Amino acid sequence: MNKKHGGGRHIICVDSSLCNRCGLCRKDCPRGLWIIADTGAKVTAQDCFKCGHCAAICPQGAISLSGYEDAPEELIRDAKPEPETLLALIKGGRSMRHFTQRHVSPEIVDKIIEAGRYTPTGLNRQGVSYVVLRENKDEYERIAVSWFRKLRPIVGLFMKQFRHVHIDDHYFFKGAPVVIVVKSDPAATGVIDAALAASAMELMARAYGLGALYLGFFPS
């Protein structure tokens, strides 16, 4: 089920002619909003988490939800990587600090962001957004470098490893051709949600043969 919410009203509907009263929607709902009546499944309230689990888990396709920008996508239930291959990919991850100027197409950038967009969130708040920096990245890096140079004496008092670090003009982006800023609402699980999304995006980038670097010191 596509998780991206739009501006429309969110309504859960049940086609009673398709419902076989299996009860999976009731069992899987984190809010406990479902009952199984003689005529089929019924939702008792519409103020749910909008997670879409009920529609995704229904084997009959009897449940539909409105209020999403995109149409639902069919789940590929057997789509899973080989465990050893996935573990090797995770173990082999390294931060890249020297980048070539290889062109990264907008299509690939979109796929990387899509991996972040579909990453599970802590409270299903959907509070993560993305900004892609290309031609204008030098301007943002210049501001960040200037800010960090001023702070380094203070940071060096607590983190000795930064006392002798040379902060050049490309200290943050390392000459990378594309920068994706992952933004989140700091309320609730926002920071965690952004970190989860970034982790999935880094794996997707490497699946395309690209190197990546997390910029924990880059201010938003």
Confidence of residue 3 (pLDDT cuts 50, 70, 90): very low
Whether the CB-CB separation of 172 and 217 falls below 8 Å is answered with yes
What separation in angstroms does the CA of 105 have from each of 190, 205, 211? 29, 12, 14
What is the chain's alpha carbon radius of gyration, rounded to the nearest angstrom? 22
Question: Are 43 and 100 members of one domain?
Answer: no
Question: Are 22 and 68 members of one domain?
Answer: yes
Residue range(s) defining the domain that contains residue 1? 1-79
Question: Are 75 and 88 members of one domain?
Answer: no
Question: Is the pLDDT at 141 greater than 50, yes or no?
Answer: yes
Total-model pTM: 0.76
Whether the CB-CB separation of 93 and 202 falls below 8 Å is answered with yes
In a domain, 212, yes or no: no
Question: Are 98 and 174 members of one domain?
Answer: yes
Q: Which of 47-51, 91-95, 114-118, 189-193 has the highest mean pLDDT?
A: 114-118
Amino acid (one-letter) located at 53? H
In a domain, 215, yes or no: no
Tens of pLDDT, residue by residue over 48-78, are 877 888 988 899 999 998 877 776 667 677 7
Q: What is the mean pLDDT of residues 151-157?
A: 77
What percent of the chain has pLDDT above 90? 50
Question: Are 132 and 170 members of one domain?
Answer: yes
Q: What is the mean pLDDT of residues 147-151?
A: 84
